[in-house]
Amino acid sequence: METELSKKLGVEHAIFGFTPFPAVAAAITRAGGFGVLGAVRYTAPDDLRRDLDWMQEHSDGKPYGLDVVMPAKKAVDGIGEADIEAMIPAAHRAFVRDTLAKHHVPELAEGEASGWRITGWMEQVARGQLDVAFDYPIKLLANALGSPPADVIARAHDHGVLVAALAGSAKHARRHAEAGIDIVVAQGYEAGGHTGDIATMVLVPEIAEAVAPLPVLAAGGIGSGEQIAAGLALGAQGAWLGSLWLTTTEADLHSRALTEKLLAAGSGDTVRSRALTGKPARQLRTEWTDAWDDPAGPGALPMPLQGLLVAEAVSRIQKYEVRPLLGTPVGQIVGRMNSERSVQAVFDDLTRGFERAIDRINRIAGRA
């Protein structure tokens, strides 16, 4: 499953695996793919340094990358987290309290801090992550919300690091190319997390044509080797997979109830909602997302206000595993995630599926 891009990065298979878990990212890299560690949850530089140290020790000297979040448009600028918190309307805080009370969600213990913060969406936090990341031999820097600032692209290139940016339309992809990025991730509507309105099957060839000869990765709803083969046939040089790793044995969701919900979910059990961050993000549909999407409610705030507003609530829901409210960002591929397997087992399945697809096309073309 080699392409020009995978050869350039020194990986056996053109499978790029995004994950918030270092153990999963390292396992993807060891399996012959390219592990990409999501940095958004690392608000303390020392925590990121600790996990990158671990990645170095457990990646067998093979390449890996980092994914940061730098919003293309800033809702706020030049002020601290406390100042941003003060901008949250009282009515929205009351809505959170009432929704949690309705479902009898316990309070955190006295003095216990929220374990989930969204400050990683703030540019100054992401820049601190980069100060740490460039001390390590990362081979790729990806930005989940468009092109990074010009100075960040230049800094990455100075370190010999390729830069990737996610795009949900050909227009956005062209902007990325003009900004000087090296790889476009064409992320379709089916994807988990922040995603646009165009389906993967339509989006990938549009972007591949729009930014040629820049390499493109197909993303969104991909969870089989056959789908990877389809992405390559549409003009991509690899596949970007995220949701599929959530139910691997190396993943650490800290919630058996959440894992069980993912394993039981079908492809129709997700929704694009602003409930988590303020931007449309595909996630499991729950009574929490329904409450925020209800026209009778106050509506979500813009990023990063919404994330700061719901941080403690999300921590409480996760800690006490309140099933009606318990969810996570995940794509429509969740319908295929019906068993817990190791990363290596997932890779074996992906490569077998890819081979089946190529054999099928060869027979159709009369070459087998």
R_g of the chain computed on alpha carbons = 20
What pTM does this model have? 0.93
Each residue's pLDDT, cut to its tens digit, for the chain (368 residues) gives 899 999 999 999 999 999 999 999 999 999 999 999 999 888 889 999 999 999 999 999 999 999 998 765 454 455 666 777 789 999 999 999 999 999 999 999 887 766 555 554 567 788 899 999 999 999 999 998 788 999 999 999 999 999 999 999 999 999 999 999 999 999 999 999 999 999 999 999 999 999 999 999 999 999 999 999 999 999 999 999 999 999 999 999 889 999 999 999 999 999 999 999 899 999 999 999 999 999 999 999 998 789 889 999 999 999 999 999 999 999 999 999 999 999 999 999 999 999 999 999 999 999 87
Q: Which is it for strands 140-143 and 162-167: parallel, antiparallel or unpaired?
A: parallel
What pLDDT is recorded for position 78? 56
What pLDDT is recorded for position 75? 47
Domains (range + CATH), the chain: 4-74+122-246+346-365 (3.20.20.70), 81-116+253-325 (no CATH)
Q: Centre a 10 Å sphere on the Cβ of residue 256 and count the other Cβ atoms it contains.
A: 9
Residues 209, 212, 214, 215: what is their CA dihedral angle, to the nearest 10 degrees?
50
Instruction: Report which of 217, 70, 39 is spatially closest to residue 146, judged by C-alpha positions.
Output: 70
Backbone angles phi, psi at 153, to 5 degrees: -60, -45
